[in-house]
Amino acid sequence: MAGKKQFDVGIALDAAMVQFWRAGYADTSLDDLSRTTGLNRSSIYSSFGDKDALYLRCLDHYAARYGNRYDQALSCASEDPLQAVRAFFEVTLQRIADPDVPDGCLIAQTAMAAPALSPTIAARAIEALDLQHARLRTALSGAQLAEGDADGFAVHMTAVNQSLAVMSKARASQEQLRTVVDISMTALSHALRARG
């Protein structure tokens, strides 16, 4: 249409997501979003809604992007649960090492800021964490673990995964992060061997 500015919604959403991820919800202004997306305020509002609505879209975008990678990593869990969980952690470690994205995790960052955010945004972060736990629980449910251990390890692995993101914000080295993963993997390996 003549006179109407065209833009790629996916690119704009990526830019907004990275801005929120880098600075956090509270420290991201509409001017920041306008600058990073290349859209004026009216285009942001007409395309995405208010700041809360855009943040929710960014959370969903982030959760889908990395959720698909987690699902793929865990897809071999029925044959080799150890390899699947290690691949799950590898998704996080690769994201942390990626120089094109900010440190940490948008979901973890949102969960930590939940008391200062709207109930809708806080609930969405909790849903994302619950989904990560459910993914891991499903992946481990077929493993030879003692009763209840699949859920216990899923809770533990979810917590470890989020702690990797927090540690990366504090500039932990890849070696330190991999040590955390290795210790968790050793515990899971021992639990599987004890049942086997």
Along the 196 residues of the chain, how does pLDDT read in single tens digits? 444 557 788 999 999 999 999 999 999 999 999 999 999 999 999 999 999 999 999 999 999 999 999 999 999 998 999 999 999 999 999 999 999 999 999 999 999 999 999 999 999 999 999 999 999 999 999 888 887 899 999 999 999 999 999 999 999 999 999 999 999 999 999 998 887 6
Cα separation, 61 vs 17, whole angstroms: 8
Quote the pLDDT of residue 172.
95
- pLDDT at residue 7, as a whole number: 77
| Single-letter code of the amino acid located at 78 | S
Residue type for position 86: R
Cβ atoms of 121 and 142 closer than 8 Å: no
Q: In what helix (H) or strand (E) does residue 13 lie, and over which residues does it extend?
A: helix 9-23
Q: Could you tell me which of 142, 21, 22, 9 has the C-alpha nearest to residue 74?
A: 142
Q: What is the pLDDT of residue 196?
A: 60
Q: What is the pTM of this model?
A: 0.89
